[in-house]
Structure 1
């Protein structure tokens, strides 16, 4: 796998900007290999994650909320990646880490499912609802730590968590030993 980031983005026309474009520019400035892929369907979103040649995947989309205001899945124009939908797919996520900035996507059930069942080594997502600028700031700080100072997913995340207020409750999930 290539040492870089695949940014998978699905944004709504009402969004204040493209988090993917911001990240792509940050990676260019840091001289980190990256690719920005825009998707419209949940099938394509998971397809792009599964087929990525990059060690790291960044999912930039919205989190669909249930009636009880909990995470219902990753949103796209053509469907939502609910846990039930994801469980019915035959997808192997062999990337090292997935970072999501979708609202409430850092729920324990979703995070553990991605790492323990679908094969991703690490998953990071917020338990709250970050604004566009909060998501971009978290991502910039985390990826700077990952690629420039700390060099491992765990060290980069724990450094972020220890150094900043983490107002949106970003959480990291790690694959448990089989």
Structure 2
């Protein structure tokens, strides 16, 4: 039986590894709350494939992937960036799909909520859901959002995640960082993929002092 614990996988640029480990912050915070988690920082495609397979063979129920999003010239999300190479949405879905049945994916990657990856993964597996940010999101905001999200989810129920509670928790935490997220699930007997957009409309930055209102 799978356990309600999180496996956090992170990939950064070489020069970011010492200062931008968002995933490590999330893992440490969960450990402070008495909620065990696994954390690993990877660099290569082979390492991603290896950790995906290891996760599939483990009892972890939740997979958290933190990495840069990649977009095309039109600003559309087309994949994610590992330290050493770009991985397309198609390729990422093929890598993760065999290991995600009965599990949830939390994707901390800019624009990932707008791309086709969540739909591809849910169509190719029995993954319960995918949660991802809609827009570009800073390391600091991502760390605040995800640590708050996991803390509140596990505080509400240490044994499982329920879609309705998950959506309400995302709404609360999204307000903290003024960002929007998309929550993808399959519904009905046909397993149609649908999503809900959660979080506030973007609030304009306040005018600096001395400027006209």
Superposition TM-score, scaled by structure 2 size: 0.74
* Bigger Cα displacement from structure 2, 162-171 vs 100-109: 162-171
In the TM superposition, what is the alpha-carbon distance from 1:79 to its structure 2 partner? 2.3
Aligned to 1:12: 13
Equivalent position of 2:135 in the other structure: 128
Shift of 1:50: 4.0
Deviation at 1:34, TM superposition (A): 0.7
For 2:31 and 2:183, the matched residues in 1 are separated by 25
Q: State the 1:43 CA deviation.
A: 4.0
Q: What 5-or-longer segments of structure 2 have no aligned partner?
A: 192-213
What SS class does the counterpart of residue 168 from structure 1 fall into? coil
Aligned-pair CA distance for 1:118: 3.0
Aligned-residue offset at 1:142: 1.3
Corresponding residue for residue 39 of structure 1 = 42
- Structure 1 residue 99: Cα displacement: 0.6
Matched, 1:61 2:67: yes
Pair 87,5 (structure 1): closer, same or farther in 2 beyond 3 Å = closer
Q: Which moved more, 1:43-52 or 1:67-76?
A: 43-52
Matches within 5 A, 1:141-160: 141-149=148-156, 151-160=160-169
- Once residues 178 and 47 of structure 2 are traced to their aligned partners in structure 1, the CA distance between those partners, rounded to angstroms, is 31
* Residue 101 (structure 1) aligns with: 108
Instruction: Report which structure shows greater RCO (CA 8 Å, sep ≥6).
Output: 1
Query: For the Cα contact (< 8 Å) 1:65–1:73, is it kept in 2?
Result: yes
Separation of aligned partners in 2, 1:31 and 1:139? 16
For 1:168, the equivalent position in structure 2 comes to 179
Q: Which residue of 2 aligns with 1:83?
A: 89
Segments of 5+ residues of structure 1 without an aligned counterpart are: none
**1:106-140 C-alpha deviation (Å, 9 max, x unpaired):** 12521111122133211100110110111111101
